[in-house]
Amino acid sequence: MAYFSIFPYVALMVEHDGSSRATDIGVFVGFFEALFLVAQALTSIFWGTMADRFGGKTIVIFSLLGTAISSLIFGFTSSHWQMALCRCFMGTVSGGDVVIRAMIGKQCMTETDATRGFSLFSFAGNIGMASGLIIGHALVSHISQYSTILKTVSFLEKHPFCLPGITIGAMSATCAIVITLFGEDAQQMVNGVVDDTPSTNSLLPTWAFLCQLIESRGVGNTPSSFINISLLGSAFTAVATLALYTDISQGGLEFPGHEITLYMICQGAFAACWLFFIYPALYRRFGTQNIISSSPALFPFFFLSFSIMNAFVRPGSEAGFFIFRLRQSTLACKRYRPVLESLVCSMESQKRLLVFYE
């Protein structure tokens, strides 16, 4: 939710700074999101190991509090370097994702359990994505109404993008409190018995251990496939945000804020349908490995589709433009992580692999 909540207005936020040319907005937007993802990737192993040592519940609470703080601060940033630092900090403390994956893996005793668990996890992620987009758009596009209701006209005029950050921060803090009061740590099962032996490993796994893990049977191809699809998926998200916002004359589609939000919500809705209706049928027919191998072939079409839509709309062919946009929204199934997660959980080394993979 926190990651996607800025998408409806981050380009406006960069433009509001006043020091950027219109052609540079996409560069800054992509840079901010790259910082988040790089920081998240560099700290995933660390947070996974901390969860193994101190408990997943503790790390998830810490991650939620960090997300609350970074979301709150981001809404009050007023320069590019402040936005960059804030997104980098949010990526650094976003260890809850990999920890929750590990906690699900500890509870999965069979491949069926793993498939259901990670499908529900990804479905919840899609709900969070849609909620974040709606919150980000609603609280920024109607800022004048909220300033009148809250009687804080001057404050909101000075910080027009603070309301989404405040809302997401409050929700993250509330989740941290709920988990503190009612959450329980996942217990790893060994031969049907709870293994509560405390970890005696070092703070970080050695390179020898990681190399040995990657060389294990059935593991070697999974990280490379995951990196490939994650790269393509993240790039598609960044390109989509830029293409939807950019002027038609500069190669974009010039969507208003509410259409950008609606587009991404439809994308998330289709991803949920993929998880529960399409993927199970494809899995029974082709198997996970074949799906993973063929899925990257779809991305060139997704990337080219924005240029094709721009070509449709340039000469004023509105009918062709809307037909193609409907087709693109229907085909925007960019989330293949559940497929990889199900594959990972079917391996002999699933418990150790889930500690570090993101």
| pLDDT of amino acid 156 | 74
- Can you point out the beta strands (E) in the chain? 188-190, 193-195
Share of residues in the chain with pLDDT > 90 (%): 11
- The answer to whether residue 128 is domain-embedded is yes
CA distance 61 to 75: 22
Longest distance between any two alpha carbons in the chain, whole Å: 68
- The answer to whether residue 198 is domain-embedded is no
Full residue range of the structural domain in which residue 270 is found: 10-187+206-356
Kindly report, residue by residue over 181-197, the tens digit of the pLDDT. 987 776 655 455 555 55
Share of residues in the chain with pLDDT > 70 (%): 71
Pairing of strands 188-190, 193-195: antiparallel
Q: Which long-range contacts (CB under 8 A, 24 or more apart) does 31-34 make?
A: 31/84, 32/83, 32/84, 32/87, 33/87, 33/234, 33/237, 33/238, 34/238
CA distance 341 to 350: 10
Q: What is the DSSP letter of 250?
A: G
- The answer to whether residue 21 is domain-embedded is yes
Residue 227 sits in a domain whose CATH number is: 1.20.1250.20
- The answer to whether residue 3 is domain-embedded is no
- How large is the average pLDDT for residues 15-43? 80
Number of domains in the chain: 1
pLDDT surpasses 80 at 165: yes
Whole-number Cα distances in Å, 33 to 39, 131, 265: 10, 19, 19
Are 289 and 351 in contact by the 8 Å Cβ rule? The answer is: no
- How large is the average pLDDT for residues 246-257? 77
- The answer to whether residue 5 is domain-embedded is no
Tokens encoding 95: 């260890």
Q: Which long-range contacts (CB under 8 A, 24 or more apart) does 244-251 make?
A: 245/11, 245/25, 245/26, 246/25, 246/26, 247/22, 248/310, 248/313, 248/314, 250/22, 250/23, 251/307, 251/310
- The answer to whether residue 197 is domain-embedded is no
| pLDDT of amino acid 243 | 80
Kindly report, residue by residue over 194-239, the tens digit of the pLDDT. 555 544 444 455 666 667 766 766 666 677 777 777 777 777 777 7
User: Which amino acid type is present at position 32?
Assistant: F
Instruction: Find the angle CA(329)-CA(334)-CA(338) to the nearest 5 degrees.
Output: 130
